[in-house]
Amino acid sequence: QVQLVESGGGLVQAGGSLRLCCVASGRTFSSNAMGWFRQAPGKDREFVAAIGWSAGNTLYVDSVKGRFTISRDGAKNTVYLQMNSLKPEDAAVYYCAARRNLEPGSHETEYDYWGQGNQVTVSS
């Protein structure tokens, strides 16, 4: 079992930055690929970014490439999502997820554990 606790959301102006954090506990963090998903009101939850056990193995949805960066710190059992140049369309509840696999995935059905969600609001 893996427990995930997110933090770092909030309100930011368009063009600003936020960093989301997700702390994992409960089992070996390094054996889990980690992902971030988001869900805006009235929309389905969508994939944002993922990172494998190897920090160099990452995936991004096209709409955030060049603006968002996912990273992980094994010593802190933490995965981060650095979000720069935020746009109003990035506003959503962001979820951290973990999968029982070393490789990152882009589908929510590939993930086994989920955080509670963290609101990101971007004002225009």
Structure confidence at residue 117 (pLDDT): 96
Structure confidence at residue 2 (pLDDT): 85
Q: Is the pLDDT of residue 31 over 90?
A: no
116 pLDDT band (50/70/90 cuts)? very high
| Distance (Å) of CA 44 to CA 41, 91, 92, 93, 119 | 8, 13, 11, 11, 15
Segment 52-107, tens digit of pLDDT: 987 789 999 999 999 999 999 988 999 999 999 999 999 999 999 999 999 999 99
Of 54, 39, 40, residue with least CA distance to 97? 39
First to last CA, the chain: 40
